[in-house]
């Protein structure tokens, strides 16, 4: 993507061309009490000028990021001002105490603007529903040579079915040891059109035995 602009400066034509190479990203994570979201933008570009241009050192670029989870947001946050050829790397983080019975919406936007030409890079999206789902895992428990634990069977109470499973078990590297049972709490995104659930990231905690899965 390349954009150009022509300005009449001091009665002379100044032509500016800018070729950006930018990308945005989002991240979701949870721990035992909070949901965390991150929205960021990275990259740079090349600005060239032709014609009769005055000193263009006053031109700068800056990011504008929106990160909203469950209505919690710092609003539109502007990044630091950089020269047009300089690298931009900005991130906006939010966190929200989660309620296992609640649903959440994750809205985001990451833009980059030029002080002369306005916004030239814009990406945005929303994940309409975020929910939490629980699965319990149990024996047999095995440990690989590198110390990773694997739980080989689901341990759901009768009449309960997990949304999130991981095939033959969940690997874990030593944070809570290798107890007989664990509880996996997942952030799940749900497509409103198809109803398909996508399991994003789990948090693992020790469990005393089987439990209710959902």
**8 Å CB contact between 207 and 176:** no
- 143-160: pLDDT as tens digits: 888 778 888 889 999 999
pLDDT at position 192 over 70: no
- Between 2-6, 43-47, 49-53, 188-192, the lowest mean confidence (pLDDT) is in 2-6
CA distances 13 to 3, 33, 58, 88, 191, Å, are 17, 59, 18, 29, 51
Among 14, 2, 22, 6, smallest CA distance to 86 is for: 22
CA atoms within 13 A on the CB side of 200: 18
Q: What is the pLDDT of residue 88?
A: 94
Q: What ranges do the domains of the chain cover?
A: 3-129, 130-207
Q: What is the pLDDT of residues 18-48, one digit of tens each?
A: 888 999 999 887 776 888 899 999 999 888 8
Write the DSSP assignment of 61-101 as a string of letters: EEEEEEEEETTEE--SEE---B-TTS-EEEEEEEEEE--TT
CATH number, span 3-129:
2.60.40
Higher pLDDT, 127 or 36: 36
Q: Which of 14-28, 71-85, 126-140, 162-176 has the lowest mean pLDDT?
A: 162-176
**Averaged pLDDT of the chain:** 82
% of the chain with per-residue pLDDT over 90: 30
Instruction: Give the percent of the chain with pLDDT over 70.
Output: 85
**Are 51 and 13 a contacting pair, CB within 8 Å?**
yes
Work out the pLDDT band at 210, boundaries 50, 70, 90. Answer: very high
Q: How far apart (Å, rounded) are the C-alpha atoms in residues 135 and 130? A: 17
Q: For residue 140, say if its preceding peptide bond is cis, omega within 30 degrees of 0.
A: yes
Q: Are 121 and 183 in contact (CB under 8 A)?
A: no
pLDDT confidence of residue 54: 63
């Amino acid at each position: 993507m390349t954009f150009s602009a022509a300005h009449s400066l001091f009665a002379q034509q100044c032509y500016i061309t800018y070729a950006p190479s930018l990308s945005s990203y989002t991240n979701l994570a949870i721990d035992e009490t909070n949901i965390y979201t991150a929205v960021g933008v990275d990259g740079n570009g090349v600005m060239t000028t032709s014609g009769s241009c005055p000193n263009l050192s006053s031109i700068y670029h800056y990011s504008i990021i929106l990160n909203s989870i469950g209505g919690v947001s710092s609003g539109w946050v502007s990044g630091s001002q950089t020269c047009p050829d300089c690298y931009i790397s900005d991130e906006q983080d939010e966190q929200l105490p989660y309620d296992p019975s609640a649903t959440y919406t994750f809205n985001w936007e990451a833009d980059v603007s030029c002080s002369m030409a306005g916004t030239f890079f814009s990406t945005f999206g929303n994940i309409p529903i975020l929910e939490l789902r629980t699965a319990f895992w149990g024996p047999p428990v095995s440990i690989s040579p590198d110390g990773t634990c694997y739980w080989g069977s689901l341990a759901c109470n009768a009449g309960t079915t997990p949304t999130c499973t991981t095939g033959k078990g969940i690997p874990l590297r030593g944070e809570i040891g290798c107890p007989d049972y664990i509880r996996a709490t997942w952030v799940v995104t749900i497509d409103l059109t198809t109803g398909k659930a996508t399991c994003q990231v789990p948090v693992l905690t020790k469990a005393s035995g089987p439990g209710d899965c959902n």
